[in-house]
């Protein structure tokens, strides 16, 4: 087994490959994978933030605003 982490795209492909083509099931999968994608982006965005809690909170708020305005 590889030590590499799967991306949300990898997970989406694997799940949809095995899921019958049902709109409701695919929609549920898409919703789940969107949350994975959001967390991946947040982790990347915050990866280099200093460990000062106050600054981290500011960057987390900025990320949430950016993500909401861009993807939701």
Does residue 1 register a pLDDT over 50? no
pLDDT of residue 28: 83
According to the model, what pLDDT value does residue 2 have? 55
Give the residue extent of every domain in the chain: 8-71
Per-residue model confidence (pLDDT) at position 33: 84
Cα dihedral 46, 2, 7, 38 sign = negative
Write down the pLDDT at residue 65. 93
Residue at token pair 């991306």: 7
- pLDDT per residue over 29-67, tens digit each? 788 888 888 998 898 888 877 677 788 888 889 999 988
What is the pLDDT, as a whole number, of residue 3? 66
């Amino acid at each position: 087994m590889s030590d590499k982490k799967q991306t949300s795209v990898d997970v989406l492909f694997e799940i949809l490959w095995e899921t019958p083509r049902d709109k409701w099931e695919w929609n549920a999968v898409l919703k789940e994978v969107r949350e994975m994608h959001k967390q991946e982006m947040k982790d990347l965005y915050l990866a280099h933030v200093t460990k000062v809690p106050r600054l981290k909170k500011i960057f987390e708020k900025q990320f949430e605003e950016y993500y909401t305005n861009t993807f939701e």
